[in-house]
Structure 1
């Protein structure tokens, strides 16, 4: 208990204060996740992954190409223990890259991270709307879903997100408790129902048969392309990292939460996918289901219409709450990059509401961006999916650069690495190397289409969107960034002792 700051100002422990001092940042946000709930960061990871896992089991490419658990979570294990900041990857790049390239690499990484998280936030709200439309199709087989209706559902979801993240932010720890319970209950109910009531595939069909639904030249290539659905399932592993400035003793508990979140989600996802494949009598019929969701087809084969509504509803409720948490991470990442003058209108975006101690402007901006992206869906769902597909490629870029910089620092000058309170020890460098190899692989295949005979609607437009954003960020750096953006490393205080802190009067003291 001696590590807890007792003055009631919610600035966290002395380690948190020391970390903020070393990084040259002012504690503006409340560290609402205290010692009595130190595992809530881990629950946050579990909660954010609720919708991701259901997207995963829904994606036919992954189902048709076998079972795989994404290892993408390796990306931030060691990084979080060194600099627990809402900025995440762009901050780590700024600290770890060669001084010659740190500004430009950090700037581009920041842009990619912001846009990827914003695209991901929009995709979560869109998923909610399309699941609701799928439920309507079950109730009324004559219903034909329209893009504009899906967009209205997105707007409704965004209103809920804004309310909870601004006006009900103090409830967030309780929401995480509730969502964790729903998470476990939903998992147990769905697994139990499918094993007890669904028709059963043979073991050989589940584990030994593979489907090349994309028409690729070999099964091996089909498996590689199908990996991207599994990659998508693990994209939000760094969500807790962007909430670091609101977690007590973040340097220790945030990386621990990410590790345990990975193993827990990975195990639950593997059980779920195996169950799902056993309960799917026909892949072709699942892909052609009028609802557009293969998992609803599986439910229909196990229970009646009312049962499908019930099973889908207990999935939809956690998905809605996980969208709230996803937006919270997206807003914090955007706020942090603006705080370091990486975005236009940085002063406004990076402003913290003094009463609520929340980045209200960044939260509002994230909601507006989701609304604008949803409007694109009215005109062209192909264009909308092209934009949100940026989520995978852009985040893979941030992982490649941040892990690459960490490996460079570890191999070239390990003595310059900042002190961390949580580490993988001697295994860290091997985990980093394996993670870098995997994210390079994922980055490469993130640009591939899901099937051959590519048309304008089947083409993977993420390569175009990614290239355009990359060029824009470079141009922005040349015109604006190199004059205004120094990178967070400029504020970092080298050699700061990890047990240094700041008292209630803002004076640095050693404990």
Structure 2
């Protein structure tokens, strides 16, 4: 993937006599126009949505059709709370009985409250379709951001794809239940497969062709969802005999064969856990919800409450009206819930109710299918999957990810063929949905909990905040996610058979292994995580006052028209105020840098653009030490050895480390905006500076050129961006007495090394092997640090001539690297008998016995006569003496 694929939308502003006109430029060249109010009418985004997407480095591609009520309906229908629980509470009835079903539902509800509170807060901070894997990437420790978000993205994709396949099959289950309730019907497996294929193709066509209608039928079907629920409960409470309160709340049972009742109850809690997962469908639809940062948390919590109410009443009804559990379990349909409904009404009314449930299942699966496609689209957009470019493509006419729909439908159909061969294998795959979602919840909430403990000031602003209770709620959420994750791998019955074994553990591990294989094979070079696009945390300054005021007005006041005159006044004020501030951007007036340096240190793209528009000096050196810096900035400055011991004195003395003021020393560290942007890894900022004319070779005092800094930090996208300008002066890439390739070898960046190799020209041979004593070659650095993979890569280069190393002790000390050099084609041509003897003598002088042994063995193969003459008699006599000594000692 080219560096351009990692560049977020950049926002430019043009001051005219009227209001400020803003244009968002996407990475693929498309544009969306932001009005003078800050919103995006084309995609129906509010000003808050525009700000949130820009902070996350994203271009709005989907249209925000959904409002609060329609999205609440969407969540309720996609999870089909009471309809699905008619068919899935059987395990709880076997393992724990009726009390197990009710109590496990209640404690699972209590456990999921902190989970959804935590995710609601994260959705308010970062309302994006990627949800959990994006949150992991943004909040995890920097060292683990990439791998943790990558694994979370794979498990999230697996969870939603498996849930989609199961949802398609649930429609077939209801159809077969209707048939079985009327006639004697022993359904072969191929019937279920055919039903699944037909319905999957129908759902694909309906979602693509009817994409614009998706938000508009949600409320009507949700009303049917509630009315059908009332129609389902009422006849049961009127017509079916009831069990006693003791039977429902105190008569525990163990029909699963487990050694103890407690173990049976804990195994039987899985229906209660499964009933509550999936509310985060709202988070995956965040890019299609208006004012998402405010609306999504509300939707998740309201949807969770509605679902719990419906599920509780459903299971309470069943538990009070299953008088004979064995008879209910032996119902021809296989579902005790259908047995209860059959007792409450005549056959025609039963058929009507099941038909209504079928309709609700169909509409619910259409909604769920949409959320599945958004999750797949988001992860592919970040290059986390094979064929990501195709999967992430958005149809420009319908403005939906059509290819993600097609893949999801194909995946569901392929799983249905597994059902033909083995019913156990099919349910082993689809059972991963709950397991994988719990893992995603645990990782994402665990990461924000870590950031809340160590770097609370870096958390983005949230319109739904947990406040001082955040850490406690996050901790409770992680604990319960881990609890559910553990029990999700247990089988339903004991003793365990092949048919009854819970294969989710095997499939889950296999999926992680598959993900890591793809990651090692090439995924790590393509996937960098969404965090590389996210703007860093910042704190409002005086320069932000006008725009902060406008943002506050847009967020807090519903009717913008009422304050339109105030907004225009503030914008006109900013035209006078900001340029005067930027005039300080000169070394004489402001020795610590002006507005552009301030903007770069704070990762503020919009402020940097305005500074450039008003004439900021792009290549002027500035001292970043008085900027608003993070702990990483301070450690970087300490590594530059510009502070010495005074840095540590300052850390000790100054509790407010966010604002840096040196105590004992005059700061000598000078950098440029481009160097600072490169070090911080802000690709968007660097691209903005380069497009404005920043010098890619500008080398300020006491620091290296931008490319050298990018190599040092191991930032491949930044290296690609700088090299693709075509203006790199390779002679200025000095650092550690080596050039670009040597720096890549020194900092152990094999990906950067491979990327830079094609750019080495004939006049730059000292990059590969020594020409002068002043420059250390990349091969020398790689050998010195024992990086054999890089040695092999460099030796494979057609211009490589490593004969200089044949007699160098540096190479001989690293035997594996020396063997590679010795066997290099260009070296083989140079090696004669004299060179062989010389190399052995040098190795012997430095007491490198392993190298001597290797050279002797090689001489015996190449020059047997010479070896016979020089070493055979000595080696033979040495062996005989050794044997004689052994015999004497014996």
Q: TM-score, normalised by structure 1?
A: 0.94
- Matched-pair contact (CA < 8 Å) for 2:69–2:219: no
SS of alignment partner, residue 317 of structure 2: helix
Match of 1:387 among 429, 433, 454: 429
1:131 aligns with 2:174: yes
Per-residue deviation, 1:39? 2.5
Aligned to 1:504: none
Cα distance in 2 for partners of 1:219, 1:336 equals 44
1:46 aligns with 2:76: yes
Aligned to 2:647: none
Counterpart mapping for 1:314-393 below 5 A: 314-393=356-435
Per-residue deviation, 1:309? 1.1
Cα distance in 1 for partners of 2:526, 2:91 equals 44
Aligned to 1:119: 162
Aligned to 2:139: 96
- Matched-pair contact (CA < 8 Å) for 2:163–2:430: yes
- Matched-pair contact (CA < 8 Å) for 2:157–2:375: yes
Give deviations 1:348-368, integer Å, cap 9, x for gaps: 000000111100000111111
Per-residue deviation, 1:383? 0.6
Give deviations 1:254-277, integer Å, cap 9, x for gaps: 011001111111122111111111
Cα distance in 2 for partners of 1:56, 1:188 equals 14
- Matched-pair contact (CA < 8 Å) for 1:199–1:302: no
Match of 1:66 among 92, 101, 105: 101
1:15 aligns with 2:48: yes
Structure of higher RCO (CA pairs closer than 8 Å, 6+ residues apart) = 1
Cα distance in 1 for partners of 2:469, 2:202 equals 43
Cα distance in 2 for partners of 1:5, 1:303 equals 57
Per-residue deviation, 1:56? 6.1
Give deviations 1:142-179, integer Å, cap 9, x for gaps: x2101110111112221221122111111112221122
Aligned to 2:57: 24
When residues 265 and 364 of structure 1 are mapped into structure 2, their CA distance, relative to the original with a 3 A threshold, is same
- Matched-pair contact (CA < 8 Å) for 1:56–1:230: no
Counterpart mapping for 1:284-299 below 5 A: 284-299=326-341
The answer to which of 358-367 and 474-483 deviates more is 474-483
Cα distance in 2 for partners of 1:77, 1:219 equals 36
Match of 1:461 among 483, 489, 503: 503
- Matched-pair contact (CA < 8 Å) for 1:61–1:213: no
Give deviations 1:102-136, integer Å, cap 9, x for gaps: 10000010000001100000001101101111111
Gaps of 5+ in 2: 1-34, 541-547, 555-604, 610-890
The answer to which of 313-322 and 459-468 deviates more is 313-322
When residues 121 and 191 of structure 1 are mapped into structure 2, their CA distance, relative to the original with a 3 A threshold, is same
The answer to which of 165-174 and 336-345 deviates more is 165-174
Cα distance in 2 for partners of 1:137, 1:247 equals 41
Per-residue deviation, 1:482? 1.6
Aligned to 1:245: 287
When residues 4 and 125 of structure 1 are mapped into structure 2, their CA distance, relative to the original with a 3 A threshold, is farther
Gaps of 5+ in 1: 502-506
Cα distance in 1 for partners of 2:492, 2:120 equals 30
1:182 aligns with 2:217: no
1:277 aligns with 2:319: yes
Per-residue deviation, 1:483? 1.0
Cα distance in 1 for partners of 2:334, 2:504 equals 22
Cα distance in 2 for partners of 1:262, 1:125 equals 23
- Matched-pair contact (CA < 8 Å) for 1:78–1:428: no
Cα distance in 2 for partners of 1:52, 1:299 equals 13
Aligned to 2:739: none
- Matched-pair contact (CA < 8 Å) for 1:51–1:322: no
Aligned to 1:203: 245
The answer to which of 347-356 and 260-269 deviates more is 260-269
Give deviations 1:431-459, integer Å, cap 9, x for gaps: 22111111100000010001111111000
- Matched-pair contact (CA < 8 Å) for 1:137–1:291: yes
Per-residue deviation, 1:278? 1.0
1:216 aligns with 2:255: no
- Matched-pair contact (CA < 8 Å) for 1:3–1:14: no
Cα distance in 2 for partners of 1:3, 1:237 equals 36
Counterpart mapping for 1:459-498 below 5 A: 459-495=501-537
- Matched-pair contact (CA < 8 Å) for 2:159–2:432: yes
The answer to which of 203-212 and 404-413 deviates more is 203-212
The answer to which of 450-459 and 192-201 deviates more is 192-201
Cα distance in 1 for partners of 2:503, 2:214 equals 36
Counterpart mapping for 1:389-404 below 5 A: 389-404=431-446
- Matched-pair contact (CA < 8 Å) for 1:410–1:417: yes
SS of alignment partner, residue 405 of structure 2: helix
Cα distance in 2 for partners of 1:54, 1:474 equals 34
The answer to which of 150-159 and 439-448 deviates more is 150-159
SS of alignment partner, residue 217 of structure 1: coil
Per-residue deviation, 1:59? 2.3
Cα distance in 2 for partners of 1:383, 1:57 equals 20
Cα distance in 2 for partners of 1:179, 1:28 equals 27
Aligned to 2:837: none
Give deviations 1:43-72, integer Å, cap 9, x for gaps: 221111215752366321223333114333
1:230 aligns with 2:230: no
The answer to which of 128-137 and 217-226 deviates more is 217-226
- Matched-pair contact (CA < 8 Å) for 2:43–2:60: no
Per-residue deviation, 1:226? 1.2
Aligned-pair RMSD on alpha carbons? 2.0
SS of alignment partner, residue 233 of structure 1: helix
